[in-house]
Amino acid sequence: MKIFFAKNIGFCSGVKRAVAITEGALKKDPQPVRFLGELVHNENVLEHFLKKGVRFGKKLPKVKKGTLIIQAHGRPPLPHLPGITVKDATCPLVKRVQLAARDFHQKKYQVIILGDKKHSEVLGIKGYANKKTLVVKDEKEAARLPFIKKAALVVQTTQNQETFNKTLKILKKKIKELNYANTICPEVSARQKEIKDILEKCDAILVIGSRLSANTRRLAEKTESLGKKLIWINSLKELKSQMPQIKCQKLGVISGTSAPDWEIDKIKKYLKNYAKKNQSN
């Protein structure tokens, strides 16, 4: 078995930043440290910090001490929280979408978000515009929108470029005055482009990441859409249980942006040893 590892694998820069902020808060900021929402969409990362004493909550804590960390996907603006140290781990690229939505709203545009309606990033972006912000998941939903005189489109950072292009084309026909900001994360785009090259030369694709992760799910969907065998795991333990069933000559290995580097390293080591052992046999 030959194994092809993607160049863009493991944590993206936004997740690395969020993890570093949390590690720093555990060392020097007021305790206890709490997450407001999931720091990133990966169970292994959350478990890593829960073991270190980080507390987790979806609502604002009623206590008046400690440190509160805003998730990498962002959230609507917070009220003043006296006595609590707030650390904003929102990815800078997500923050860019939030501010773009706020700017369009202030200029009296009807804000439209291309994204997953219930995703925490989209809910956070809506908080920077208004309750009447529209959300469409693709060009089909965009085609069903009513005529709008003046609107602006922003994009969830983990959307793919093809869906954005199709949606923008539809909206240009339906909206008299359309403005837009292509806010897709370049690191996500790089992984989406790289998977095409890997798919061309591999029989099967190993996708590493959580099923909670939107960008990981899109990598898996792309694999299946092209008729390639998909192996989707989130840990070395899961891989070991599935390895006997993986029958292929060429295996491509990719990951979502929140797949932890420490887990990636273990998986790489295991696969290299596996390939070497089977080659000698």
3-state secondary structure 78-91: CCCCCCCEEEECCC
The candidate with the shortest Cα–Cα distance to 39, out of 97, 89, 95, is 89
DSSP H/E element including 26: helix 13-28
Residue 147: CB atoms within 10 A of its CB come to: 7
Is 177 an annotated catalytic residue?
A: no
The candidate with the shortest Cα–Cα distance to 188, out of 159, 152, 145, 217, is 159
Calpha distance 224→139 (Å, rounded) = 21
Kindly give, in sequence order, each residue whose CB lies less than 8 Å from that of residue 151, ignoring residues fewer than 6 positions away.
Answer: 109, 110, 111, 112, 171, 175, 177, 178, 179
Q: Which of 121, 139, 187, 263 is catalytic?
A: 121
Kindly give, in sequence order, each residue whose CB lies less than 8 Å from that of residue 241, ignoring residues fewer than 6 positions away.
Answer: none
The candidate with the shortest Cα–Cα distance to 81, out of 59, 52, 101, is 59
The candidate with the shortest Cα–Cα distance to 45, out of 88, 16, 74, is 16
Residues labelled as active-site residues: 121
